[in-house]
Amino acid sequence: MKQLTFLIIFIIVATACKEVFDIPPQSRLKATLVNAVTKKDTTYVITIKPIGHDSLFYNKERSGSFILPFSPGESTSFQITFDSVIDTITFFHKTTTQYESMESGFYYEYKLKQIKSTLHKVSSIQITDSLINSTLHENIKVYIRPLSSGSN
């Protein structure tokens, strides 16, 4: 009787777990903010609006880094506000479909080809790793002009 109960419990648990699938991963770019003069990591109040998308991705958040979602196309543009100064950054990338598993599905992986940016608050952008994959890691360093440096 004890064994039968154990068997029934085992079957119920096995059946309950069998249709639980992981969601596919997502590849996102990670940027670190660096003071262009001191070359030290710094924090800013940032607002990010993807161009072509209605909602804000970041809304007045103080942070020393940010992550960005790329579109499946060949380029993705963002309007980024650093302490109320707006810059527009466009990323040109190669998009490839990657296989995670048949249970969780497919995802996109990106290879950064070029970055173009307005230089109001942004001083320069350095690519540290051009491969944007499902493991979140630093891909670019954004050098920001300090307040005293003025704007371009």
Partner 1 sequence: MKILKFTFVLCLLAVISYGQKEPHKKIKPKRTDNYIRMKGIRIGADLTRPFQDLWTKGNRYGTEFSADMELWPNLFPVFESGLDFMKLNTDYVNYKSSGSYSRIGIDYNILQAENTNDKNIFYLGMRYGFSLAKQQVNSYKIDSYWQPETGSFGNQNYGAHWAEFLIGMKGEIIKNIYMGWTLRGKILVSKKDLGMPPVFFVPGYGKATHGFNADFSYSIFYNLPWDFRKSIDRKKAAVNEAKAKTTEKQKSGGTKPANKK
Site residues for partner 1 per CB under 8 A: 11, 14-15, 18-19, 21, 23-24, 26, 50, 52-53, 57, 69, 71-72, 97, 99, 101-108
From first CA to last CA, the distance across the chain in angstroms is 81
The least CB distance from residue 104 to partner 1, in Å, is 7
Min dist CB 27 to partner 1, Å, is: 10
Return the number of the residue (56 or 85) whose C-beta is nearest partner 1: 56
Q: Which of 89, 103, 98 is nearest to 141 (CA)?
A: 89
Q: Measured from the CB atom, is 53 or 116 closer to partner 1?
A: 53
Helix (H) or strand (E) holding 2: helix 2-17
C-beta of 7: minimal distance to partner 1 in Å?
12
Phi and psi torsions of 2, nearest 5°: -65, -40
CB atoms within 10 A of CB 115: 19
* Shorter beta-carbon distance to partner 1: residue 77 or 88: 77
- Surface-to-core class of residue 118, CB atoms within 10 Å of its CB (0-12 exposed, 13-18 middle, 19+ buried): middle
CB of 107 to partner 1, least distance (A): 6
